[in-house]
Structure 1
């Protein structure tokens, strides 16, 4: 006659508020880690209070490691905006959180279906991979504008129309001087 609840476990002996070590573009990697950790919190935390505490813990981890409040706010806002749950950030309503978790697990099903579609396009040699240089900025706007232009230009094309081909955009990042020097150092130490 009890209730089962789950939450993220933090080992009491391990140091708190540490970020994983990354090689390369640390700001981007830690942004990805932050988003992944929030997604993990949604999976593991069945109660809104536990999710909120985990979100605050993750925010404090980034702040304690020198990231700006802008970096943290931008990542949190992007997370809630991406899943259309902006109001859930400030409300502590268990019913809304339960619906959010249900929708999120449905989102994962959609991701698996999209992955299968991409694999089908790839198997039929109809998947086009394009890479472009990107450091920081309105990447989402670029992707949307590119796809609009592609659709307008190739709408009637027999092989490149939206229904027959899939264009997948991928970014290549400018590495910071620090990461380039770290890469050179590791190459020199190996030789």
Structure 2
């Protein structure tokens, strides 16, 4: 699990760790997999970020990183946008607000 854990004044803070040498690769959209697999990747990656980031700032940075990485892997901007909107519509916005307001 690639996660950074920090102790900030007695409170644990978490964020996603990216190795400096790591490429921003996800399953390339041009690979020979069913469309449903490609369609679910943006949603799943964003859900992972929401679960692992302990503050809103880190989550937003990770969301931008995911967006750029998916674009670099030939995902259509419309697909990315639709999956991100789906993520925030399926009760995840409430989950994030409750989690980050603790």
SS in 1 for 2:12: coil
Note closer, same or farther for the CA distance 1:97–1:24 as it changes in structure 2 (3 Å cut).
Answer: closer
Cα shift readout 1:48-97 (whole Å, capped 9, x = no counterpart): 00011111111111111222211111010011011262xx8xxxxxxx84
Which position in structure 2 is the counterpart of 1:47? Answer: 55
> Structure 1 length normalisation: TM-score?
0.42
Question: Larger Rg: 1 or 2?
Answer: 1
User: Is residue 27–residue 73 contact of structure 2 (8 Å, CA) maintained in 1?
Assistant: no
User: Is residue 19–residue 30 contact of structure 1 (8 Å, CA) maintained in 2?
Assistant: no
User: For the aligned residues, what is the CA RMSD?
Assistant: 2.5
Which position in structure 1 is the counterpart of 2:27? Answer: 20
SS in 1 for 2:22: coil
Which position in structure 1 is the counterpart of 2:79? Answer: 71
SS in 2 for 1:6: strand
Deviation at 1:98, TM superposition (A): 4.5
Deviation at 1:23, TM superposition (A): 4.3
Write the distance in 2 (CA, Å) between the matches of 1:78 and 1:18: 22
Write the distance in 1 (CA, Å) between the matches of 2:97 and 2:54: 8
User: Is residue 50–residue 96 contact of structure 2 (8 Å, CA) maintained in 1?
Assistant: no
Could you list the runs of 5+ residues in structure 2 that have no partner in the other structure? 1-7
SS in 2 for 1:66: coil
> Which structure's relative contact order is higher, taking Cα pairs within 8 Å and 6+ residues apart?
2
Number of equivalent positions: 90
| Runs of 4 or more consecutive aligned structure 1 residues displaced over 2 Å after TM superposition | 20-24
